[in-house]
Amino acid sequence: MRLPACLMFLALAVSPVSAEPIADQAQRAYALYAGGLSQQAFLGAQYGAGLLKNIAGNWVRLNGPDSRSGTETYGADTEKFCRSQAALTLASANPLTLSLTTNLRGANFSQQYVLIAGSTFGEYTDPAVYLDAAGIGPDKVGGNFDQQRALLLSLANGIVQIYRPSEDILVMTRDRGYPIVLARCPVAPPAPPPEASSMPPAGASPSSSSAAQ
């Protein structure tokens, strides 16, 4: 009788009883890729209300894993980049639009994202401003510069999917290329209020000061 009992215990030990239920996993998937919305709301362009909520502020692009060693570097230099010109400013005037602006020391540019449907956004970057900031404006002539301009514009304009897996992480994906992951820069805590001085105000007599105590 002991052997069957042992086998039963072993079966229970290796069975996936501790695995997360499919319903819970599905709920997380819908929360990520559909913003937790119903199908009707998702297709009705209501996705941006949650995605772009409290989006305003400075963000930086994470490097992800090292391209050669594969070592994870996610967020390792976030604070350093936030104090540099690598910081990007995100803003949203309404639930349908998102703007991304650079903070370079020289020329800057902005990219505009407009919600089309679901989690799909149309990305637009002004060509003249963008190429000038990249240093390959129309003053640079030649076939090589033409190719560079065409490549940059193809990467800065098109269709993107935007997700927000957490309050401080924003993810953009395209039909080609590695996902772009942005992390919110930490906000400095407000300065504490100045401590009240224990000295009596100017012109106050010693008697009035002692009376106030």
Task: Give tens-digit pLDDT for 94-107.
Answer: 999 999 999 988 88
Q: What does the CA dihedral 42, 46, 50, 53 come to, rounded to 10 degrees?
A: 160
Q: Give this prediction's pTM.
A: 0.75
The answer to whether residues 196 and 208 touch, using CB atoms and an 8 Å cutoff, is no
Amino acid in the structure at residue 110 = S
**Mean pLDDT, all residues of the chain:** 82
Q: Could you give the CA distance from residue 171 to residue 161 in angstroms, rounded to a whole number? A: 8
- pLDDT, tens digit (0-9, with 9 covering 90-100), for 77-99: 788 889 999 999 999 999 999 99
The answer to whether residues 193 and 63 touch, using CB atoms and an 8 Å cutoff, is no
Q: Could you give the CA distance from residue 133 to residue 107 in angstroms, rounded to a whole number? A: 5
Question: Residue 61 pLDDT > 60, yes or no?
Answer: yes
Q: Which two tokens stand for residue 194?
A: 């100045």
The answer to whether residues 52 and 98 touch, using CB atoms and an 8 Å cutoff, is yes
- Band of pLDDT at residue 30, cut at 50, 70 and 90: very high
CATH number of the CATH domain containing 117: 2.40.128
Give me the domain span that covers residue 123: 27-184
Domain count, the chain: 1
Q: Which two tokens stand for residue 101?
A: 């602006």
92 falls within a domain: yes
11 falls within a domain: no
199 falls within a domain: no
Of 78, 131, 134, 75, give the one whose Cα is nearest residue 104.
134
